[in-house]
Each structure stands twice: as C-alpha cells, then as structure tokens.
A and B are shown apart, each in its own frame.
Chain A
Amino acid sequence: MENLRKGEWIAASVLLLCIAVLLLVSSTDFFLKEAADEIYTIAFITDDGEEDMYMKFKMGMDKAAEKWNVDIVSDVSEANRNAKEQERAVLEAVESGAQAVIIAPVDSRGLAEFMEKRKLNIPIISLDEGVGSENEQGTFLYDSELAGKELAGAVIEDYRSGVIGRRILLYAEKSGKEQTVLCMEALADTLAAADMEVVRKQYMQGIPLEEGVVVAVDAYTLGKIISQKELPEDLYGVGSSNQVIAMLGDGKIRAAAVGNEYDRGYLSVEAAVKSIRSGIRQQTVKLKSVILRPEDVHKEQYEGRLFPIG
C-alpha cells in the first residue's frame, strides 16, 4: 500500500467516494425517492347543491385518486356557497396538509387575494371559473356559451314545431357566476335572434315560477326546479345529475345540456397531481356539453356520459 503513487491514491479515493454515494442513493430515500411511494393529499371544496351530479364528479376523482395515489379530502357543505366560508375551508385544508385544492370558487378574485394575503402557496384547480392567481394550475369548465347556443337551438326547434310557446323564461341563480352569465347571454341572444320573447329571471326558492317555457340556465337552478312538486310543462336546462337524466328520460324535461362530470373530476385530480409533482401548469380546459332529448337517454352512445362506469 505504501508504494501506491499519489495519482493512484486519488483515483482509489474518488472511486470509494463514488461507491459510497451510489450506495447511499440506491439504498436510502434521501436523494432519490420512488415516485410511486408518495401519497398526495388533495382537498376538494364544494357545496352540496347538486348532490348526485357531484357523485359522478366524485367517481371520476376517485378513479384518478386510485391511479395517481391520491388521498382526497372532501369538504362538501352548503356553507361553501359563501365566499368567506370557502376561504376558511381552503385555509383549513392547507393547514391539514393538503398539497392542492380543487374548488369551484364563489368569488374567484376574493379567493386569489385571500391566498396571496395568507401566502398559501399551493396549486389551485378551479372548476367553473378561473381564480386568476399565480396558484391557479388549471381550470376545468364547460363551454357555457356553446351550451347556451345549442340549448337555445333545441328550444327554437320545439317552438318552430309548434310544441312550445314563444315566451321563454331564463332562470338562473343569484350568484352571477361567470359561466352562468355566459350561458344566459348566449341563450338570450340566440333566442332573441329567432324572434322569441326572452325574460331573464332570478330563481328564488319558494317563489312560484311564471307561466311559460322555463329554461334553467345553471345546474343548481335546474336541480331546484325539478325537486319541486309541480314541474313546468315545458322545461329545459343545464345539468347532469341522475335526477335530471331520469326526468329527461321520462320526458319531463324536453332537452338538457349535459356535461361529462366524470371526466371533469378525473382531469381535475390529474392536473392537481401533475402540478404537485412537477409544477406543470394546465391550460384552461373547456369541456363540451351535449344537448340531449328524452329519446337520447338510452342510446348506447350516451350511456357512458350519463351513467359512467365506476
């Protein structure tokens, strides 16, 4: 050993160091972690307004959770229809260790300010409406404008066939969400262009609906209307819940813009995981709704969308 040259000593030392580092890296989790071992915690904050529609969304989320090793902590409460309550829920979720939040924000701007103020630096996956903050890592919404135009097309078709009257009542909830407004505007413009009488109304629980053809512009309003004892004779709307599908199948709803909640749930969790893993920022994804008539409900082509396989 004493006869080794300086260069040989250096080479042997470097080799030993490499071996030690390689053994350390390959035998411990200090430097290299197997990706599959990590469990991600993602909070889902929503109201319980459309319970059975949420069920399909949840099915999609669960599928993604199973695939991506995610622990989904759901905060589903009527109180989450209030902006302040949503902020509190987000704060609680972050404090409980959530690595991302999936939320349908009531006040997107307020939520962005709140998160900035509290320095809550985790990805936000927004449903329905973009948050417009640095944290926002993806927005999954339906193309409400297109849905509005197509639903208006179904109404116009029925009117021209003499099935319904000319007076159209557009009912929407009070919150004035961006997507609801877009859908309302598209419906109103298209119907007006077809020389129909359009009346914009705010849905208020307990107050009877006016006479005329009723179009529920958002899923919340349609859910509330179909849960009433007496349904309007001519009802159209936006929604995907099992109850809406059943009513549509029964012909109690003449046409509905039906979204794919399963996919939205799946994709939102997938976007959250990708954002946690590598900071990949998902673009805004506009999902397409389809306009379904009663006779479409049992068509094989729509079966997956209406009755997703868990």
Chain B
Amino acid sequence: MTEFFDILANQAFWVAVLRIATPLILGTLGVLLCERAGVLNLGIEGIMVAGAFSGWLAVYLGAPLGMGVLVAALTGAAFGLLHAFLTVALALSQHVSGLGITLLATSLSYYGYRVSFPKVTTPPTITPFGEMSWIGLPILAQQTLLTLLALVLVPLIGYALYRTPVGLALRMVGENPQAAEGQGVSVAAVRTGAIVAGSSLMGVAGSFLTLSAFNAFFFNMVNGRGWICVALVVFASWRPGKALAGALLFAFFDALQLRLQQSGDALLPYQMYLMLPYVLSIVALILVARKASYPQALMKPYRKGER
C-alpha cells in the first residue's frame, strides 16, 4: 500500500498521466463531434494510424513539426470526407463504412511505410516536439504543445457546441434531423462538416504518438486507442468537459498499471495489468449504461424526404 502512495506522490507519474491522456482527449473530442451530429465514426482507429504515419513522414521529409500536425489533420479530414460521402450522401451503414475506413487507412499507412522504407530494421527517427519548459507550471512544463492544444480545445469545443449557432445546428442534426431541415438547416452539410472536423482531430491524435510521445512510426502503435475513445465518449455522455475527465481518469489507471507492472514484485502476470485499461472501458460502459443519453439520431441515416 505504501508503494501505491509512493507512486502517487511522484510528479513523474502525473506527467505520464497527462501524456497518456493527450491522444485520448483529442480522439474523444473527434468522436464527440461526429456523434453529436448523429454519425458513428469507427474509422477512428485507422485514421489515427494514418495521422501518425502521414504527420511523421512529412517531418521526416523535412517539414517543420507544425506542418506535420497539419498534414495529419488533413489526412484525417480526407478520410472523414470519404466517411461523410458514404454515410451522409449515400446513407450506407455507419458501422460498416467506419470499419472499412479503419481497414483502408491502416493498410494504406502500412503500405506507404513499407514502400518508403523497404529494408529498414530499426525504424528511422525524427526530432519530436520539445517540452514546454517556458510555461512555468509543474507537470504541464514537461508536456509538449500538442497536449496544450488538446487542453485548450476542450473549452473551445464546449463553447462552440453550446453557445454558437453552428454548435446548435450540429446538435440539432444529431437529435432531430427532420426538425433541423424544417428550420432551414442542411443536415447533409452540417453532418459532413462535423465528420470532417472530428476526423481531422483524430488525425492529430494519431500524430501525437509519432511527433511527441515517440519519435518513430511503428506497426500496431495505435493499439486500440481509437476504440477506447469511442467508449470514452459514451462514458462522457457526449460532453467535452466530461470527455476530458474521462480521458484523464482512464490515463490515470493506465499509468498506474504501468508502474505496478514495473515495480518488480508484481503479483500478477504482466498481461493482467495490460488488460486493465480495456476491462475498465467495458466496466465504465456498463456503469453509465442506464443513464447514457445517446444523441437521438445517432446511427440513423437521414435521407431527405424519406421516413
């Protein structure tokens, strides 16, 4: 038990929590935007891979780090546009389209990596974002700009959703598209915009892995983080503030299991610790199930004039 408190008293632990939380915050906000507009986006897992790869490749080829993040966002936006075409314009199954995009984005990234580096044994590296020592706040000073971006986006998206006409339109097409159309809101345009914006955030979430957390691209580096974001949005009942809290809580447990695993006298096989984040996600879903307030039109394709 003392060991447990030792871990919590260590500042490095909390630095790790915030670092692990960053891609989850960005990804969860991305899923939130899509789902608030009524569209499930299971493309997230693959879009994060594509963002991680394209952003890293741009920097490797000589672009500045900021440009790498932009490239990742644009890659995400491109896949988002495809998802919007399939699910909004053609009203195809959102589940299947999203899974298709995950498979496509992942395999395209792996293909691109292998074409660009056919015979490497150790992955080539870049110089990632540095720590923000100028910021003068403990814990945050050991993070990078992308973490700051994630934290700033939470109130920004919250404000946009609840205090602006665009946010109102977005929530409306997710709750009652017929009513929105009656008010002169173009359901197709708003949903497309929301998916593209959300998907570019997913791309940025991926780029955090290669441009900040690590300095190289690895296969399987996203490792289910995208799916966890989909669970976190439900846990957060589609609210940005709660999404931040959920991501931090989740990252807390993930960082904790890493420390316990490393603490030498581990009581359990290491796989049990690695399972913890996934088990917790399922438990969280069960806990909130009774009061989960899904956007009313989520997963319901909307065809104008059709009931």
Q: Bound pair: A and B? A: no
Interface residues in chain A, defined as those with a beta carbon under 8 Å from any beta carbon in chain B: none
